[in-house]
């Protein structure tokens, strides 16, 4: 395959190479395919709390509610660990 060097977007190439080796935040989008499941065991009080928060929210699913709560907290804790 021959590359036409005149058609290379130099700015895009520079951005791409500047990001090489940096952790991506793209994998934390809600559009990414699911690759794993986690079994979460909880008692009735926690089930009631989840139901109350879900009922009082505007999200369409409990999965989305948990994503909205857990992912930002996981990212915060990851950053906290990395900055030690």
Question: How does pLDDT run across 20-46, given as a tens digit for each residue?
Answer: 665 555 555 656 777 788 888 999 999
pTM for the model: 0.57
**E strand or H helix at 44:** helix 44-55
pLDDT exceeds cutoff 90 at 84:
no
The per-residue pLDDT for range 60-73, each reduced to its tens digit, is 999 999 999 999 99
Cβ neighbours of residue 59 closer than 8 Å, sequence gap 6 or more = 65, 68
Write down the pLDDT at residue 61.
93
CA torsion, points 73, 59, 54, 37, in degrees to nearest 10? -60
Domain residue extents for the chain: 59-84
């Amino acid at each position: 395959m021959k590359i036409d060097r005149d058609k290379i977007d130099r700015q895009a190439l520079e951005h791409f190479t500047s990001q090489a080796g940096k952790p991506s935040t793209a994998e934390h989008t809600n559009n990414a395919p699911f690759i794993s499941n986690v079994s979460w065991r909880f008692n009735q009080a926690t089930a009631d709390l989840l139901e109350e928060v879900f009922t009082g929210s505007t999200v369409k699913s409990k999965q989305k509610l948990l994503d909205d709560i857990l992912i930002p907290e996981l990212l915060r804790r990851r950053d906290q660990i990395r900055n030690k």
